[in-house]
Chains A and B, each alone.
Chain A
């Protein structure tokens, strides 16, 4: 068997080997570049912004809960002033500047007119009663060049007495929060009926009212009753038939 002594193609093999080496070197270099120069992503700052929005909502909830307990109309502005400073302590170096403008006139919302005073409002002792808070926040984060990011923070609790039945000693009522969302998981401790002890609180789903609470009392002589509710945030509403 005789092999042809052919030297053609030797350079092709050498060239291919060099190309393979170049591919390896280029891959390593590109990987190093990609991992060293990390691209800034807007999603990273959205986490911070979402946190500020969520916790500012908590400040408004806390302020409304305090207002419904002691009728302090300046509590929302006071808490927001303190929140401005505490945000800077929690995130030093980010340059977070938060300003607010609390609602101070009549606003149509949730199917009713709400007359705000320094961001707070309440309408009690009616069959449909509510407590509400409303403020507009402007957020600047100088470290990322964010300026004028506005969002509205509201807090709302509505209590409606649907019916009072003295014979069965039962009050039916609905409890809603912002955007018409029914408040769930309310227990006996969340309700109070004036001059009467509550024996049990149950709930059922209704096509018209979504979620109805049935409050059973040990004594309910009168056809009218004063019902108080506190939701999980501590916000209070008092309704009367």
Chain B
């Protein structure tokens, strides 16, 4: 048995292998080294959903009503409770407003802000999200409170 000493096509094979190697390297380079820009559209939408879901879950479990309509100490305890739910890199500021008879809103927690993060963060960021949530009242009393929750990624 003799092997034909045929060298035609050898370079084609080598070229095909090099071509495949170049394509795979290009795709790997893009995936590993590229830094994709974050999308502002997705970021604000995700923060809105997170804020709504957390307030909704707290309301459904009956915890939110106890904090909002409780004593000042109860409202102050709302901050550490929210810290448990939000990720550590997320700043939040919760304002509790009561609806007055003339239809205007009056802030209830002006003297003890429920906030994690410096106030300047919410003013300077262009990705601040505002979520509003309303509680109608507590026990036999219709006494609506509107919660305005501001969120921004740190």
Contacts and interface: CB of A to CB of B under 8 A. Distances in A.
A65 interface: yes
Contact of B26 (A20, A51, A58, A89): A20
Given A31-B36, A65-B139, A51 B103 contact: no
B41 A12 contact: no
Contact of A6 (B11, B16, B26, B137): B11
A211 interface: no
Nearest to A9: B15
B83 interface: no
Q: Which of B26, B52, B105, B141 has the most A CB atoms < 10 Å from its CB?
A: B26
| Main DSSP-derived SS at the A contact region | helix
A8 B137 CA distance: 82
Contacts of A66: 140-142
Interface of B: 7, 11-12, 15-16, 18-19, 22-23, 26-27, 30, 34, 36, 39, 41-42, 45, 48-49, 52-53, 56, 59-60, 62, 99, 103, 105, 132-142, 144, 146
13 contacts: A6-B11, A9-B11, A9-B12, A16-B22, A38-B45, A51-B56, A55-B134, A55-B136, A63-B142, A66-B140, A83-B136, A83-B144, A89-B105
Given A16-B23, A58-B137, 7 more contacts: A38-B41, A47-B53, A47-B56, A62-B142, A83-B144, A90-B133, A234-B139
